[in-house]
A and B are shown apart, each in its own frame.
Chain A
Amino acid sequence: MSAEKTHATLGLSDAEYGRIVGLLGREPNFLELSLFSVMWSEHCGYKNSRPLLRRLPTGGERVLQGPGENAGVVELGEGWALAFKIESHNHPSAVEPYEGAATGVGGIIRDILALGARPVALLDSLRFGPPGEERSRYLFGEVVRGVGGYGNAIGVPTVGGELAFSPAYSGNPLVNVMCAGLVRADGIMSARASGEGNVLVLIGSKTGRDGIHGATFASDELSSDSEMRRSNVQVGDPFCGKMLIECCLELVRGGLLVALQDMGAAGITSSASEMAARGGVGVELDVDEVPLREEGMEPHEIMLSESQERMLAVVEPEKVEQVIGIAGRYGLVAAPIGRVAGHGELRVISGGEVAASVPASYLADAPAYEREVVRPAYLEGVRRFEVGDVPPPEDYGAVLLRMLSHPNLCSRRSVYSQYDHEVGTDTVVRPGADAAVMRVKGTTLGYALTTDGRGRHCYLDPEGGAASTVAEAYRNLSCVGARPLAVTDCLNFGNPEKPDAYYQLARCIEGMARACEVFGTPVVGGNVSLYNETSRGAIYPTPVVGMVGVMEDVRRHATPAFKREGDVVLAVGAPVEPSLAGSEYLEVIHGRVAGVPPEPDLAEERRYADLVRGLIERGLVDTAHDVSGGGEVFALAEMALAGGIGFEYEGDPAEGARPDVRLFGERGAGFLVALPGERLEEVERIAGDAGADCRRVGRTGGERFRVGALIDLSLKEMEEAYGRDLFGDGGRSG
């Protein structure tokens, strides 16, 4: 087969093929074309998103490493830094959910490891079709098992995440995994190849035929043929992953490495060409030196294999033996497979002959496409909504119970209890709160982590939804007492070659960029997953925001759980009317996804979040929660259930024509805090000095949850609804 006919099957367009021929000044051979096909895929080359991503702010005071390495790094203090990144594994998980999710965990861990950081926390952000669908239920169960199967075994706690179900994700689940790692600020590794004559050493597993062209697969829509691509999905070996972590950390500690790079999508090809392009050098790779799992592998298979648990290191020649010895101690293979060269080419040697030779910079420089941003027609229809369209509830207690038991709103305990969230003995605030809080042993420092995504909101209003996603993350970190530092993003969208998805991508990035600017939280790394479509259409545009924050004194933190009987509960938040537009209540109770949710007021979001954090930092507040999906009363119910302490609403919630708007409507910049009465005066004074709106909503105590004459439920019946096992009844009900 000639290369010209092959390019289409490799996922390259005619124009792209023409560009390759133009760059090289000749026709590429099959191996060279394969290299281009993976490196110019959307997954590796970001060709549809790169121009848009430039809009995101990336710099900041605490940023030690922005985009460009395997992960971003921020400074925590006392010489410690946090490396973190989020990545998707959507396509693999759609066809082989267990391994897709497991290798998603394995892959993001190695990105953190490449910075020389010890992975210390995982978070998973998941989306599936409704649990009433058998296939969605299967994907959900297997993905959760896969995340746990890998994460539990390697000893990195899964401390947070989020989960939602919607028909928009049927057949195209989202599996985004974030990892954070601790590293000394003066010991951060780079993935920049340098030093002509230095040796490229492949560390970890042997190379097999698994995952070939996985990156190309991830850059296309899912179809009925996708099942056939099961062999494109890699298989994880968490035991080997664990050994790789310990081995690489020992190599870094010993100062034995010049550079270190994860081997992920597009295998040796992307690792080597990215390392070379970063360093402005060339590399020569001898495929005959790559340890293989099976005989008879072709050079292009070796170059593109996505076999898991492999890292590529640049090592000075005199240290190679030592590296091989240490790897051997961990039962790992370390093989010198090439060297850094001055010629700037990625050169593949096979059987002593040059099998491919292309400038590394060409591979790393995928074409970029900018398209016209056209407002989709669907927005007109879905944005139409009036409160009068839906009737007010007759039984508010029954509505609250239905919301508490809905798969999108119920407790995530049945998920996170399958993840080891305590290994490492650093988890201060465990899953179930607004954000996870971790400590740094030997210091008083802590850091907090959250992932947030609001697909429905972004579908109804891409720019506002994306901004409010960032706002939610900012609130979540502030609620536990952490000062937000930076963001990693995972942009999950449909096919960017279609105008609707491109519009959503462009507007969501704009919304995120605006919010990150106001919050002072730069985007230091991330991942783009496009082509999330099936024959039934595209997913909701779902930018997932992973945000990290720091706390000087980790003992000063807050959680949503009511802690004491008799605490006063205050609503601290911008005095804006809640809205049912795009709310959880509207979807869960009335089955509608419609309306324009309130545009987030970013300055107010920041002001109120900073106020709440200040109260926690001063030790005045240890109980805080943000008002988010489900509205104020739902948030109060969560606080009561988390603490096992009842609540009595004060004032008249039935005031006005539509109490459901007041109780379940959503708005930004809203928090609930609970505190003993003796601290009330001081807290109100601080809020007053800040010109902040602060309203008494009730008191904790007893075993019932009462909201005026509208709701009177026992905590027990609420817990029965909320604490449901999402796997027990297969999630069928609700």
Chain B
Amino acid sequence: MRIGVVVFPGSNCDRDALYAVERVGAEPVALWHAERTLKGSDALILPGGFSYGDYLRPGAIARFAPVMQSVERFAREGGPVLGVCNGFQVLCEAHLLPGALLRNAALRFVCRRVRVRVERTDTPWTSGCGAGEELVLPVAHNDGCYFADGGTLDALEEEGRVVLRYLENPNGSVNDIAGVCNEGRNVVGVMPHPERASDPLLGSEDGLGILRSVLVGAAL
């Protein structure tokens, strides 16, 4: 399976994502922001970082990158897309996911490990996890406070589209939301970094379950 990792100017977790993809046994391929080709990817990851320096607003400029036209088509056709951190912000800005990520409630960058619960396993990015499974995942962001209006929130909860939930909320996200999916359930955005928890030497491999899920789904 070939997993494309989009490289925006200012992405800084692209190399980590490519490395983690390799570790789960998939073929990693870097996708340059200025080109429209997805190089035959079977799944896509929008990595963390500070695309375009987060200038204006995180993700606001990246969503207009040429590659995003192809990403949007891929997503609307049901292809599995995972946005991590800045990638989540880009997906929200591109309206592939609902809501927005605001400045952390404490108004500071936060880098730590947090406990999260897998709320749904019926997405291509969590199908390999156990329902209700607790994971310890790193977060590192300035703007990770998930927000959506009341109606959207109700819909997200009712439709079971909250995919990951913080057990200790590091940023003030509404309903402790750490990750959501779209209506089609193929597009998932998460603030924690599964690619950073991909090696026992680094203290956790809880993120591998998320990255492996997409392989499991493909094999079915």
Point out which of A148, A155, A439 has the most chain B C-beta atoms below 10 A from its C-beta: A155
Do B10 and A242 touch (CB < 8 A)? yes
A540-591 contacts to B, CB under 8 A, are 554-555
* Cβ of A561 to closest chain B Cβ, rounded Å: 11
Question: Chain A: which residue is nearest B195 at the CB level?
Answer: A425
Do A425 and B53 touch (CB < 8 A)? no
Which residues of B have CB within 8 Å of A329?
34
CA distance A148 to B203 in the complex (A): 23
CA distance A243 to B193 in the complex (A): 23
CA distance A153 to B86 in the complex (A): 11
A6 at the B interface (CB under 8 A):
no
Do A421 and B50 touch (CB < 8 A)? no
A302-350 contacts to B, CB under 8 A, are 329-331
Point out which of A243, A422, A427, A555 has the most chain B C-beta atoms below 10 A from its C-beta: A422
CA distance A242 to B53 in the complex (A): 9
CA distance A416 to B110 in the complex (A): 9
B134 at the A interface (CB under 8 A):
no
B27 at the A interface (CB under 8 A):
no
Which residues of B have CB within 8 Å of A441?
19
B112 at the A interface (CB under 8 A):
yes
Question: Chain A: which residue is nearest B112 at the CB level?
Answer: A417
Do B9 and A243 touch (CB < 8 A)? yes
* Cβ of B62 to closest chain A Cβ, rounded Å: 12
Which residues of B have CB within 8 Å of A687?
none
Contact with B along A420-435 (1 / 0, CB 8 A): 1111111110100000
Do B53 and A424 touch (CB < 8 A)? no
Do B140 and A422 touch (CB < 8 A)? yes
Do B201 and A428 touch (CB < 8 A)? yes
* Cβ of B36 to closest chain A Cβ, rounded Å: 16
Contact with A along B1-38 (1 / 0, CB 8 A): 00000000110110110011000000000000010000
Do B16 and A152 touch (CB < 8 A)? no
B138-194 contacts to A, CB under 8 A, are 138, 140, 142, 193
Which residues of B have CB within 8 Å of A145?
108
Do B16 and A425 touch (CB < 8 A)? yes
Which residues of B have CB within 8 Å of A420?
109, 111, 140
B111's partner among A417, A425, A439 (CB-CB below 8 A) is A417
Which residues of A have CB within 8 Å of B50?
152-155, 238-239, 242
A237 at the B interface (CB under 8 A):
yes
Do B140 and A239 touch (CB < 8 A)? no
Do B111 and A418 touch (CB < 8 A)? yes
CA distance A145 to B203 in the complex (A): 27
Do B55 and A152 touch (CB < 8 A)? no
* Cβ of B19 to closest chain A Cβ, rounded Å: 6
B110's partner among A238, A418, A424, A430 (CB-CB below 8 A) is A418
Do A417 and B110 touch (CB < 8 A)? yes
B186-220 contacts to A, CB under 8 A, are 193, 195-196, 198-199, 201-203
Do A153 and B10 touch (CB < 8 A)? yes
A419 at the B interface (CB under 8 A):
yes
* Cβ of A163 to closest chain B Cβ, rounded Å: 16
A155/B13 contact (C-beta < 8 A), A417-B110, A419-B109, A425-B196 known: yes
Which residues of B have CB within 8 Å of A243?
9-10
Do B110 and A425 touch (CB < 8 A)? no
Which residues of A have CB within 8 Å of B201?
428, 439, 554-555
* Cβ of A559 to closest chain B Cβ, rounded Å: 10
A727 at the B interface (CB under 8 A):
yes
Do B12 and A242 touch (CB < 8 A)? yes
A425/B109 contact (C-beta < 8 A), A155-B12, A420-B140, A555-B201 known: no
Which residues of B have CB within 8 Å of A148?
109
Contact with A along B90-127 (1 / 0, CB 8 A): 00000000000000000011111000000000000000
B74 at the A interface (CB under 8 A):
no
Which residues of A have CB within 8 Å of B53?
153, 237-240, 242
* Cβ of B5 to closest chain A Cβ, rounded Å: 13
Do A153 and B111 touch (CB < 8 A)? no
Chain A residues with a Cβ closer than 8 Å to the other chain, count:
34
Do B9 and A152 touch (CB < 8 A)? no
Do B10 and A239 touch (CB < 8 A)? yes
Which residues of B have CB within 8 Å of A554?
201
A239's partner among B9, B13, B199 (CB-CB below 8 A) is B9
A425/B199 contact (C-beta < 8 A), A239-B50, A418-B110 known: yes
Do A425 and B142 touch (CB < 8 A)? no
B54 at the A interface (CB under 8 A):
yes
* Cβ of B138 to closest chain A Cβ, rounded Å: 5
Point out which of B34, B53, B112 has the most chain A C-beta atoms below 10 A from its C-beta: B53
CA distance A145 to B86 in the complex (A): 19
Which residues of B have CB within 8 Å of A555?
201
CA distance A285 to B140 in the complex (A): 43
Which residues of A have CB within 8 Å of B202?
422, 425-428
A153/B199 contact (C-beta < 8 A), A242-B50, A420-B140 known: no
Question: Chain B: which residue is nearest A424 at the CB level?
Answer: B16
Which residues of A have CB within 8 Å of B10?
153, 239, 242-243
CA distance A424 to B11 in the complex (A): 12
Point out which of B12, B54, B142, B203 has the most chain A C-beta atoms below 10 A from its C-beta: B12
Question: Chain A: which residue is nearest B201 at the CB level?
Answer: A428
Which residues of B have CB within 8 Å of A331?
9
Question: Chain A: which residue is nearest B51 at the CB level?
Answer: A239
Do A421 and B9 touch (CB < 8 A)? no
* Cβ of A118 to closest chain B Cβ, rounded Å: 10
CA distance A496 to B13 in the complex (A): 45
B80 at the A interface (CB under 8 A):
no
Question: Chain B: which residue is nearest A329 at the CB level?
Answer: B34
B79 at the A interface (CB under 8 A):
no
Question: Chain B: which residue is nearest A431 at the CB level?
Answer: B111
Question: Chain B: which residue is nearest A414 at the CB level?
Answer: B108
Question: Chain B: which residue is nearest A442 at the CB level?
Answer: B19
* Cβ of B215 to closest chain A Cβ, rounded Å: 19
Contact with B along A429-449 (1 / 0, CB 8 A): 010000000010100000000
B49 at the A interface (CB under 8 A):
yes
Do B12 and A425 touch (CB < 8 A)? no
Do A152 and B19 touch (CB < 8 A)? no
Point out which of A239, A240, A425 has the most chain B C-beta atoms below 10 A from its C-beta: A425
CA distance A147 to B50 in the complex (A): 15
Which residues of B have CB within 8 Å of A427?
202
A419/B111 contact (C-beta < 8 A), A152-B142, A238-B53, A555-B201 known: yes
Which residues of A have CB within 8 Å of B12?
153-155, 242, 423
Do A422 and B111 touch (CB < 8 A)? yes
Which residues of A have CB within 8 Å of B16?
423-425
A188-241 contacts to B, CB under 8 A, are 237-240
Do B109 and A423 touch (CB < 8 A)? no
Contact with B along A141-167 (1 / 0, CB 8 A): 000010010001111000000000000
**A and B contact pairs by CB, cutoff 8 A, 5 listed:** A153-B54, A155-B13, A423-B16, A425-B195, A439-B201
Given A239-B55, A425-B19, list of 14 further CB < 8 A pairs? Answer: A153-B12, A155-B49, A239-B52, A239-B53, A243-B10, A418-B110, A418-B111, A420-B140, A421-B111, A422-B202, A423-B48, A425-B199, A425-B202, A428-B202
Shortest 5 CB-CB contacts between residues of A and residues of B: A155-B12, A239-B53, A153-B50, A420-B140, A425-B16
